[in-house]
Structure 1
Amino acid sequence: MNNEAEYEALLADLGLARAVRAKNLKVYGDSILVVAQVNGVFEAKDDTMDKYLRVVKGILTQFNEWYVEHIPREVNTKADALSQFPSSEIENYTRSIYLQVLKTPTIHVISLIVPVGVTSYWIDPIKTHIETGWLSDDAQEARKLSVRALRYSLIEGILYKRSFIIPCAKCIRPLEVEEALKESHKGIFGQHLGAGP
C-alpha cells in the first residue's frame, strides 16, 4: 500500500511538471523500490506495481531528459512535512495549500482507449487533464485548459463544475440530457403536477 502511495505521489509530480511544460526533469524519491523500478534496476513483479510503472514510463517519454534519484526519507523534509499535513490542524496554515483527494487509484482511472461510437465532447479534455495531467502541445491551448480545469472536480469518475453559490453542477453529455431532465422534473418530493409518465 505504501508503494502505491509513492507511485501516486510520483504521478502527481509528473502531472505538475507537464502542466508547467518542463522539458527536463530531475525527480527525488525516498522509496527505494519505486526509484529502482523506474530506473529499471528492479522489475515490477506485482500486477499493481507493473501498471503504475507502465503509466509512469509512458509519461516520462514526454520529457526530453529525466533522472530519478533515491534520497533518504530523513533528508526529504518537504515530503515529510506534507505527509504530516492530513493529521495537522488545518487552521494553523496561513498559506494556500491545495489538496487532491483520490477516491480511486490513478491506474484504475486512466484509460487510453476511447470506446467506439463515443464522440468527443467539451468535457473530455478537462476530464483527461484532471485524471492524467494531459495538456495540448499548443502552449496557448494548454494554458487555457489548465486554467479552465481549476473550476472543475472529478468525483468518482464524474466531472463537476464547482460553484461558490450553488452545489457542484454535474457535467453531462448531450445523450444524458433527457435522463437528467426526467430526474430533475420528478424532484425530491415526487413527480410535479402536470408531468408526464
Structure 2
Amino acid sequence: MIEYALKFDFPTINNEEEYEALIADLGLARAVRAKNLKVCGDSRLVVAQVNREFEAKDETMAKYLRFVKGILTQFDEWYAEHISREENTTVDALSQFALSEIKNYPRSIYFQVLKTPTIHVINLIAPVGVVSCWIDPIKTHLETGWLPDDAQEARKLLVRASRYSLIEGLIYKRSFVIPYLKCLRPLKVEEALKEAHERICRQHLGGRDLAHKITRLEFYSPTMIADAKAYMKRCDRCQRHALIVRHPPERLTSINPPIPFAMWGMDILGPFPIASG
C-alpha cells in the first residue's frame, strides 16, 4: 500500500480535488509500471465521466477528463468503480492529514503541495540539457491527453499523434515495413548520420540512400532525408572523391535574331573520303 496525500495551495472545488487525487494515483500506478488497473472512487460524477456515462460540460472538468483519459491509454486494461464513503475511510483519513501541519505527518505517507492545478502546468519544455523539438508536444499529448487551445492546432496534433506510440517513455513511429521506428531528437539525428556515414557502418552513401539506411536501422526523424543530404555535403571525403559534375551551371538559352539571316552559324567539316562512283 502506498499512502499519498495532497494539499492544495489554490482555490478549488470538490470535483476538481477528486480529479487531482485521481491524477496523482495514476501517476503512482505508472511509477510502479502497473499494466492492469482498478480505480475506486466515492465521487459518482468523476467515476461516471471517466466511464463515459456522463459528459463533462464544464470547461475545467472537460480538461481534467481529457488529462485523465490520456494517462489511462498507457494501461493495458482498466476500469473505474464507484464505492460508498463508508468503504473509503482510509482515503478520508488521508484527506484529514492534508488539513494538518506538515510536521505532523507520519513518515510512511508521501506528501505533496500543489501550487497550481495540474491541467495548468503541463510542461512542454524538454528535460534539462535537452533541446525542445517536435517530439515534445506529441509526447505530452500521449502521456496526459493535452491539446492546444487553438482548435486547428489541436486537430493537427491529434492527426500527428495518431501515427506514434509511447512505449516506456519513448516515442516510436509506426511503420508499414518495420513495426516501430524510434524517434530521434535533432542532436541524435546528427550522431546517427555520423555513425552510419563515417564510423563503423561507413559506406559514404548519398543523401537519400543514407536516410534509407538510418530507417532500416529502425530510427526516424521527419527531416531525415534533408539532414542526410546536408550532412553528405559537409563530409570532406565525399567532397574530395565525388564524381565531378560536368553539366553547365545554367540551362542553355536560344538567341532569337531580329530578321531572317541576320545571324549565321558556320561549322568546318571535312575532308570527306571519296566514295566509289
Whether TM exceeds 0.5 here: the answer is: yes
The 5 Å alignment of 1:48-197 reads 48-88=60-100, 94-111=106-123, 119-120=131-132, 137=168
Instruction: Report what 2:34 is aligned to.
Output: 22
Q: Does the CA-based 8 Å contact 2:125-2:132 persist in structure 1? A: no
Per-residue CA deviations over 1:30-89 (Å, capped at 9, x if unaligned) read: 100000000000000000000000010011010000010000112101111101103346
Letter in 2 for 1:9: A
Letter in 1 for 2:67: V
Letter in 2 for 1:137: E
**1:11 aligns with one of 23, 28, 32:** 23
Distance in 2, matches of 1:92 and 1:108, equals 30
Looking at CA atoms only, which structure, 1 or 2, has the larger radius of gyration? Answer: 2
Q: Does the CA-based 8 Å contact 2:97-2:105 persist in structure 1? A: no
Please list every run of 5 or more consecutive structure 1 residues that lacks an aligned counterpart in the other structure. 139-197
Displacement, 1:92? Answer: 5.6
Letter in 2 for 1:110: I
TM norm structure 2:
0.41
Per-residue CA deviations over 1:150-185 (Å, capped at 9, x if unaligned) read: xxxxxxxxxxxxxxxxxxxxxxxxxxxxxxxxxxxx
CA gap 1:86/1:111 in 2 versus in 1, 3 angstroms: closer
Distance in 2, matches of 1:49 and 1:107, equals 10
What is the RMSD computed on CA atoms of the aligned residues? 3.0
Query: Does 2:59 correspond to 1:47?
Result: yes
Distance in 1, matches of 2:118 and 2:78, equals 21
Distance in 2, matches of 1:112 and 1:20, equals 24
Distance in 1, matches of 2:103 and 2:23, equals 28
CA gap 1:55/1:104 in 2 versus in 1, 3 angstroms: same
Distance in 1, matches of 2:123 and 2:104, equals 39
Letter in 2 for 1:57: K
TM norm structure 1:
0.56
Displacement, 1:91? Answer: 5.7
Displacement, 1:90? Answer: 5.6
Percentage of pairs with the same residue: 78
Q: How many residues align?
A: 127
Letter in 1 for 2:168: D
